[in-house]
């Protein structure tokens, strides 16, 4: 069993559209703030907009529970199809919502409801696409296949960034901000069509008729793995969403650039991350995921502080180059991480276990990252606290991978129930 290209295409296409729909709001937060929230205080409206962004993440564990149960009981394919449908209609609603000027506070309330629905959708989507691809792939290629899927998700950010950039250019009409969301609804049909024509995961087909423990019994066997996967996801989420959502606004305020220029900034670090996850995800098939992720966490902790200081440097170009370097550096850890989160759990409750732990980590760390970063830079002079925040996240990432290493180290723990593929020859 090599790489199933049809399954890979289904996972990537659906993931691109899901993450596109989810991220466009974050990228356009500063544009949407005065339109959908009370604009009397610009900073307050921006913070409310970022809170709505975070609410979407807080809903992800709910989606992970719903779609994880669906994926483990009825199939990975069905769960992914339903998650994409939910995202498409929620995104269309965001594109059609009346402004604060028209309906007042109900515009703000509607944004929060829509973000919750988007969060529920992504909670079932992100790990589900990786699970579907990994379970169709030979174990010696799983790092690479997981990396391709993640690169596809980053491609959704890339697409969302370009679309947001184009539709916020000065010559666009005042209602141009709606078009990226409407566009997302239209193109979601592509992913739905492809997904409806792939075969179900062979590992799910194999275990669905077997007698299984409850999810709670499975959880109690190794609760530390859930904590570790939360930490690993949190490491990835902080940098992904700070780089793509908050730092462009930070650079805009520091260097007084236009909204359209600000929208363009995430394209470069996102491209660096797309290349990085493919390189290091594929490399993890040869050198192992745990050693590579340990190295990635150490290098990140060493280099992130000077790089954050460069973001706050004398010129916009230096800041963007430093941002690109942070993005690429983070992929030494994040390239293998997404596949590892899937591999540490057995196939019986894999969807639910991976989705819940990953979504909780993303919610607690990634979803709050733009809000925390905005608050830090508001209350501090200079980049010290922001760089310390990033360093602390690196420590959490290091601790998470150490937990996984200790749990599966054959000299420290003998297991007979489930040995993940990255621990077998």
The tens-digit pLDDT sequence of the chain (425 residues) is: 555 677 777 777 766 766 776 677 766 777 777 888 876 767 777 777 777 777 877 888 888 889 888 888 888 888 888 887 888 888 888 888 898 888 888 888 888 888 888 888 878 777 888 888 888 877 888 888 888 888 888 887 778 777 777 776 776 677 777 888 887 777 666 767 777 777 777 777 777 766 565 666 666 667 888 899 999 999 988 878 787 778 877 787 777 777 667 777 878 888 899 999 999 999 999 999 999 999 999 999 999 999 988 887 778 888 889 889 998 999 999 999 989 988 888 888 888 888 889 888 988 888 788 888 888 888 887 788 888 999 999 999 999 999 998 887 764 545 444 555 555 54
Q: What count of residues does the chain have?
A: 425
- Residue 423 in any domain: the answer is no
- Residue 393 in any domain: the answer is yes
CATH number at residue 235: 1.20.1250.20
The residue segments making up the domain with residue 181 are: 5-418
Q: Cα–Cα distance between 363 and 235 in angstroms, integer?
A: 11
- Work out how many domains the chain is built from and give that number: 1
Question: What dihedral angle (degrees, nearest 10) is formed by the CA atoms of 165, 171, 172, 177?
Answer: 50
- Residue 424 in any domain: the answer is no
- Residue 116 in any domain: the answer is yes
- Residue 50 in any domain: the answer is yes
Q: How many CB atoms lie within 10 A of CB 14?
A: 29
Residues 6+ apart with CB under 8 A from 175: none
- Residue 20 in any domain: the answer is yes
- Residue 102 in any domain: the answer is yes
Which of 376, 370, 372, 378 has the alpha carbon at shortest distance from 27? 370
- Residue 72 in any domain: the answer is yes
**Rounded (5°) CA angle 74-79-82:** 125
3-state secondary structure of 165: helix
Q: How many CB atoms lie within 10 A of CB 7?
A: 26
């Amino acid at each position: 069993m090599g790489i199933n290209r049809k399954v890979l295409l289904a996972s990537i296409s659906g993931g691109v559209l899901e993450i596109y729909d989810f991220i466009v709001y974050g990228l356009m937060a500063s544009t949407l703030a005065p339109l959908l929230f009370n604009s009397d205080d610009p900073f307050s409206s921006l913070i409310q907009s970022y809170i709505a962004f975070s609410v979407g993440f807080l809903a992800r564990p709910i989606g992970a529970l719903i779609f994880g149960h669906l994926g483990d009981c009825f199939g990975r394919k069905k769960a992914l199809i339903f998650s994409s449908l939910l995202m498409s209609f929620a995104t269309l609603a965001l594109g059609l919502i009346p402004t604060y000027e028209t309906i007042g506070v109900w515009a703000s309330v509607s944004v929060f409801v829509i973000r919750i629905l988007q969060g529920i959708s992504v909670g079932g989507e992100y790990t589900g696409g990786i699970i579907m691809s990994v379970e169709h792939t030979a174990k010696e290629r799983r790092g690479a296949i997981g990396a391709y899927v993640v690169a596809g998700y980053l491609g959704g950010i890339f697409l969302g960034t370009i679309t947001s950039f184009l539709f916020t250019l000065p010559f666009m009409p005042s209602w141009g901000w709606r078009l990226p969301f409407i566009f997302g609804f239209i193109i979601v049909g592509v992913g739905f069509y492809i997904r409806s024509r792939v075969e179900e995961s062979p590992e799910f087909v194999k275990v669905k008729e077997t007698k299984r423990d409850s999810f709670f019994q499975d959880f109690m066997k190794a609760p530390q793995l859930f904590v570790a996967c939360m930490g690993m996801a949190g490491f990835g989420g902080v940098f992904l969403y700070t780089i793509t959502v908050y730092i462009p606004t930070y650079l805009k305020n520091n260097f007084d650039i236009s909204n359209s220029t600000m929208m363009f900034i995430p394209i470069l670090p996102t491209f660096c991350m797309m290349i990085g996850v493919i390189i290091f995800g594929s490399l993890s098939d040869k050198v192992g995921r745990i050693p590579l992720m340990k190295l990635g966490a150490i290098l990140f902790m060493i280099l992130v502080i000077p790089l954050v200081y460069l973001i706050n440097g004398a010129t916009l170009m230096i800041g963007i180059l430093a941002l690109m370097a942070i993005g690429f550096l983070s992929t030494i850890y994040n390239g293998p991480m997404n596949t590892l989160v899937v591999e540490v759990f057995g196939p019986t409750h894999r969807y639910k276990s991976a989705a819940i732990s990953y979504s909780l980590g993303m919610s607690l760390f990634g979803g709050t990252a733009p809000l925390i970063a905005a608050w830090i830079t508001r209350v501090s002079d200079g980049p010290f606290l922001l760089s310390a925040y990033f360093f602390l996240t690196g420590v959490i990432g290091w601790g998470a991978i150490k937990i996984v290493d200790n749990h599966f180290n054959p000299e420290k723990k003998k297991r007979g129930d489930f040995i993940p593929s990255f621990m077998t020859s």
